[in-house]
Amino acid sequence: MKDMYIIKTAVAVVAAMVAAGCGQRSESVEMGPGETVEAFCKALAGGDLETARGFCDTVAMNGYIRNYAEALDMQMQADSCVAMIAAGMVSQAEISVDEVVKDGDRRIVHYTVRVSEDMTKTKSAKVRKEEGAWKVEAITDRN
C-alpha cells in the first residue's frame, strides 16, 4: 500500500515538472519566419481556422482564409465523402521550408507542401514582424 502511494506521488511530481517545463519552454521560444509559416499551414490544413488566423496579419490574410473556408464548404456540400478524404490527405501533408529570404523588414519564406509523391505544391509566404511575432501577410504560388 505504501509502495503504491510512493509511485502515485512520484508520477504526480514528474507530471508537474513536465507541465512546468513545457509551459516555460513555449513562453520563451520565439517562432521564426519559417516556423510561423509551417504552423499556419498545418493549422489551415487541419481545418483549425482560428489558430491559422492567429499566425496572420488578419487584415491582409482574411480573404485568403475566407476563400479556403468557402472552397472547403462548397466541396462538403457537393460531395462530403470526397471532401473528407481530401481533407484527411491535406491534414497529413508534409510542409518543408526550402528557403527564407530577407526582404527589408519582411521575410519571404519559400516552402513545399507534399501530400504524396505525385502531389506537391511550391508556395511563397511573405511574413513580417508585428508586436514581436512573425505574421503571414500573403501566400502565393512559387514559379
| 9-49 pLDDT per residue, tens | 333 333 233 323 333 333 336 899 999 999 999 888 888 88
99/56 Cα distance (integer angstroms): 19
Of 124, 78, 69, give the one whose Cα is nearest residue 101. 124
Mean pLDDT of 87-99: 78
pLDDT for residue 54: 92
Q: Name, of 42-46, 73-77, 92-96, 134-138, the range with top average pLDDT.
A: 134-138
Residue 59 or 8, more confident:
59
pLDDT per position as a tens digit, 38-88? 999 988 888 888 999 999 987 879 888 888 888 877 877 777 676 666 666
What residue ranges do the domains of the chain occupy? 35-141
pLDDT for residue 13: 31
Neighbour-count burial for 82-117, b at 16+ CB within 10 Å, e otherwise:
ebeeebeebeebebebeebeeeeebbbbbbebebee
pLDDT for residue 71: 81
pLDDT for residue 6: 34
Domain 35-141 architecture:
Roll (3.10)
pLDDT for residue 8: 35
CB-based contact 66:126 (threshold 8 Å): no
* Per-residue pLDDT at 90 exceeds 80: no
pLDDT for residue 88: 63
